[in-house]
């Protein structure tokens, strides 16, 4: 069995999720992406040309595509490399996420798997990709569906729950390990701890914003983690936090769910409204506090109090820690049907 896997370059979420699923497929996986080959990738990797530089002309064809710029050599080379591999005889093609690669895969008669985003209701390109896909992987629980999905999409959807790089780690074991570490001479910090986790696809949160929040939340200490301020051990820091504050990207939500932490999730502007949709879904689900924009400093004391009082046990349903294996099994079933 030979499976292809396209990995979007935006943010860490697509690549973290792709690696977890690919390693569960137990076969050679031909990877595609603008990024360098991921450590531990189980097969060949096609490093694709950049298609965001130079002059960009009519990239969406009036909303039919997300990104297919006219006369762009990088884009032409990318699609050509993918087409050659598809023509060589892949048993299935997993796309996370590109409406154009999904369309190309299906046009070439290869069973196509789309790892879904919560689609904007007016996103024609995403809806077309849902129509074309043979299998849709929804990395959230079935109990948190996306309103408005057509019945024909639901009929071919596998709900896996969230998938994160931390899913194999045990919260209990990590806590026990923390207890064995030598204590310092400093007294225990009497303040509650808020950990802000910001992603690679969002603008850096301004220092002034964090200072405003800190000054309005007496009794709390604040720590920021982002691409500019990486954590030496994010898993440990999340476990130690009283509340995690993060954007509404699927990857970070999956990590917070794996750690089962009280959380405040703040939707950030995104190209197709997926973060706003994620935050709405979380608000309905009830595992955390979820809002549509960065709150005013005066709102934070109440938000933190609400978050810390919430029952976080439902995070175990959002991320069941077996999502990658469930996705891999669904992909293998589709690939075997070809035979």
pLDDT in tens, 52-99: 887 899 999 988 999 999 999 999 999 999 999 999 999 999 999 899
Q: Do residues 148 and 184 both lie within one domain? A: no
Q: Do residues 181 and 280 both lie within one domain? A: yes
Q: Do residues 175 and 150 both lie within one domain? A: no
- Number of domains into which the chain is organized: 2
Q: Do residues 183 and 241 both lie within one domain? A: yes
3-class SS shares of the chain: helix, strand, coil, % to 5:
40, 15, 45
Closest CA relative to residue 224, chosen from 214, 291, 149, 275:
214
Q: Do residues 8 and 153 both lie within one domain? A: yes
Burial 103-123 (b: 16+ CB within 10 A, else e): bbbbeeebbbbbbbbbbbeeb
Please say whether the beta carbons of 257 and 312 come within 8 A.
no
pLDDT of residue 175: 56
Q: What is the pLDDT of residues 302-329, one digit of tens each?
A: 999 999 999 999 999 999 999 999 999 9
Please say whether the beta carbons of 135 and 330 come within 8 A.
yes
Q: Do residues 182 and 263 both lie within one domain? A: yes
pLDDT above 70 covers a percentage of the chain that reads 92
Q: Does the pLDDT value for residue 186 go beyond 60? A: no
Q: Do residues 86 and 177 both lie within one domain? A: no
pLDDT of residue 123: 86
Task: Using pLDDT thresholds of 50, 70 and 90, give the confidence band for residue 188.
Answer: low
Closest CA relative to residue 80, chosen from 114, 52, 104, 110:
104
Q: Do residues 24 and 150 both lie within one domain? A: yes
Would you call 139 helix, strand, or coil by DSSP?
Answer: coil
Q: Do residues 38 and 19 both lie within one domain? A: yes
Q: Does the pLDDT value for residue 229 go beyond 70? A: yes
Q: Do residues 94 and 77 both lie within one domain? A: yes
Cα distance between residue 225 and residue 12, in whole Å: 14
Q: What is the mean pLDDT of residues 189-218?
A: 86
DSSP state of 10: S
Top-ranked range on mean pLDDT: pick from 43-57, 113-127, 281-295: 281-295
Q: Do residues 155 and 62 both lie within one domain? A: yes
Q: Do residues 128 and 209 both lie within one domain? A: no
Q: Does the pLDDT value for residue 176 go beyond 70? A: no
166, two tokens: 């931390």
pLDDT of residue 99: 94
CB-based contacts of 67, cutoff 8 Å, min separation 6: 51, 59, 60, 75, 98, 100
Q: Does the pLDDT value for residue 177 go beyond 60? A: no
CATH number at residue 190: 3.40.50.2000
Cα distance between residue 6 and residue 98, in whole Å: 8
Cα distance between residue 196 and residue 226, in whole Å: 8
* pLDDT, averaged across the chain: 90
pLDDT of residue 75: 94
Q: What is the pLDDT of residues 242-258, one digit of tens each?
A: 999 999 999 999 999 99
CB-based contacts of 163, cutoff 8 Å, min separation 6: 16, 17, 20, 21, 139, 254, 319, 323, 324, 327
**Domain with 255 in it:** 171-318
Q: Does the pLDDT value for residue 181 go beyond 80? A: no
Cα distance between residue 318 and residue 209, in whole Å: 30
């Amino acid at each position: 069995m030979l499976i292809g896997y396209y990995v979007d370059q935006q943010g860490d979420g697509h690549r973290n999720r792709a690696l977890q699923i690919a390693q569960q497929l137990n076969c050679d996986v031909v990877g595609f992406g603008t990024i360098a080959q991921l450590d531990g990738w189980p097969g060949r990797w096609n490093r694709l040309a950049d298609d965001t530089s130079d002059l960009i002309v009519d990239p969406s064809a009036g909303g039919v595509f997300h990104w297919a710029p006219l006369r762009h050599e990088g884009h032409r080379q990318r699609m050509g490399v993918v087409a050659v591999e598809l023509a060589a005889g892949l048993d299935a093609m997993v796309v996370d996420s590109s409406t154009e690669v999904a369309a190309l895969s299906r046009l070439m008669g290869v069973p196509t798997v789309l790892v879904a985003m919560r689609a904007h209701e007016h996103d024609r390109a995403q809806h077309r990709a849902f129509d074309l896909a043979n299998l849709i992987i929804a990395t959230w629980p079935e109990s948190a569906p996306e309103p408005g999905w057509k019945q024909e999409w639901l009929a071919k959807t596998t709900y896996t729950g969230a998938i994160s790089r931390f899913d194999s780690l045990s919260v209990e074991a990590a806590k026990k390990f923390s207890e064995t570490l030598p204590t310092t001479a400093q007294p225990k910090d009497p303040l509650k701890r808020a950990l802000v986790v910001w992603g690679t696809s969002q603008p850096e949160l301004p220092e002034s914003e964090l200072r405003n929040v800190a000054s309005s939340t007496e009794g709390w200490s604040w720590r920021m983690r982002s691409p500019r301020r990486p954590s030496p051990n994010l898993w440990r820091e999340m476990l130690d936090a009283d509340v995690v504050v993060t954007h509404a990207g699927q990857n970070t939500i999956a990590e917070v769910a794996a750690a089962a932490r009280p959380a405040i999730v703040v939707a950030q502007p995104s190209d197709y409204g997926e973060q706003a949709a994620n935050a709405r879904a979380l608000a309905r689900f009830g595992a955390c506090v979820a809002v549509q924009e960065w709150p005013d400093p005066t709102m934070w004391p109440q938000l933190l109090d609400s978050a810390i009082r919430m029952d976080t046990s439902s995070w175990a349903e959002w991320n069941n820690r077996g999502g990658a294996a469930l996705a891999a099994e669904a992909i293998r079933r589709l690939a075997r049907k070809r035979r």
